[in-house]
A = this chain, B = another copy of it.
Amino acid sequence: MSDIITPRVLKGFRDFLPEAESQRQRLSATLATTFGLFGFVPIDTPILEYAEILLGKSGGETEKQVYHFKDNGGREVAMRFDLTVPFARFMAEHSHELYLPFKRYHIAKVWRGENTQRGRYREFVQADFDTVGVDSAAADFEIIALIRQAMIDLGTPDSKILINNRGIFNRFLASIGLAAKSVEILRTVDKLAKLGRDETSRQLAELSDGRTAGLILDFIAAGTSFNDTLDNLTRLCGGDNPDCDRLREIQSMAEAYALGDSMVLAPWITRGLDYYTGVVFETMLDAIPDIGSVCSGGRYNDLAGLYTKQRLPGVGAAIGLDRLVAALEAIDRLKPVGNPAIVLILNLDADQQAEYQGLAARLRQAGQACEVFSDTRKMAQQYGYAEKKGIEWVVFRNESDKANGTWKLKNLRTQAIEELAGAESVVASCRNLAAG
């Protein structure tokens, strides 16, 4: 006999056992419903693409993290590392078959060969949603309203959406003569929450000087309210302008939408990526702010410039689903999913196999999930199965039940047993149990 191959998964990869996978599926389904409420529709793209398509824009750092190889046909291929690049390729390829603005969502796995020592996984699920083909406050706001609804539907209404507009920041930097260093400064400011004020100040002073660092820190300070903060920003970048107007429009929609203080103007939010050109947002859970943003995104002025001359502005955000599951678990917001079956039909008598299945047929026809234990092994093992699977009720029949055509329904927690006249009564009882 050949040797046993040790069963194991790759570093940074995980199996999902039923409870964990059920949670992931429930959150996916919840999100799909939320997206539908806003008219967003799903798409899917291949997991493997031409490496040229996926890596076109990226530098060496990205390439090192991407799984890429030569396929059997000699093509350089890569596994997607996010859902944005495939979406850009998708829009360039299919925009003539679609309508604009196009609102899509995509819930799917992506892969990055990241350093697993930081608790990162190399395979994880993202949920992306974007509106492409329009540049308007209404489109920006809709993404914010959608994030808010998703947070409510996922069980975290106690959360804040932080928003900012990079346009305003750039105006301000121009006004103090630092437009040329915009990228570096935005990146530094983006790390404020991580680095703290002192270290950020030190790094900003290195990029300019001490006085300017102070001005920037004043600029990114929050006011007492959205409007108060916005007034301050408007003043600091030299008066009314389209970027401040955009935030004012968004705020008036948020008021009409009754978002209350769940949307916060946060001038220190810039998002690291050069990609964003307008509003940017992050989402923090009040109960566990340490994990950082669970849903981030922003506006970009050109989605697919690498693949088409058609200019496609858009706005969107992404939820790291696996990260969110971990967060919900940490703050005890994951309701147990449990087993779908209401009852287990015990399998006690080799001669009654057909009767057990006949009862199961009746239950399932009535929409009641149930199981028949798969063989006549010892009762203790069958009870153990029910317990491990979280099934609270069992149905069985003993010799006299068999003679009378009756069944017994037992609650494994209370040990209470009820005698039922026949299959119809079992169905009726299970219906009541399922109804609560």
Contact = CB atoms under 8 A, between A and B. Distances in A.
A22 B21 CA distance: 21
A24 B145 CA distance: 27
A118 interface: no
A231 interface: no
Contact of A139 (B37, B43, B99, B375): B375
B4 A354 contact: no
Given A50-B8, A72-B113, A41 B340 contact: yes
Interface in A1-44: 2, 4-11, 13-18, 21-22, 24-25, 29, 32, 36-39, 41-44
B15 A43 contact: yes
A131 B374 contact: yes
Nearest to A146: B364
A115 to B, nearest CB: 11
A145 to B, nearest CB: 7
B111 A48 contact: yes
B361 A5 contact: no
B47 A47 contact: yes
B15 A46 contact: yes
Given A46-B14, A307-B6, A72 B77 contact: no
A141 interface: yes
A93 interface: yes
A215 interface: no
A1 to B, nearest CB: 9
Contact of A353 (B73, B138, B354, B372): B138
Interface of A: 2, 4-11, 13-18, 21-22, 24-25, 29, 32, 36-39, 41-50, 52-53, 56, 64, 67, 69-73, 75, 77, 79, 89-90, 92-94, 97-99, 101, 103-104, 109, 111, 113, 123, 131, 134-139, 141-142, 145, 149, 249, 252-253, 255-258, 304, 306-309, 339-341, 344, 347, 353-358, 360-361, 364, 367, 369-375, 384-385, 388-389, 391
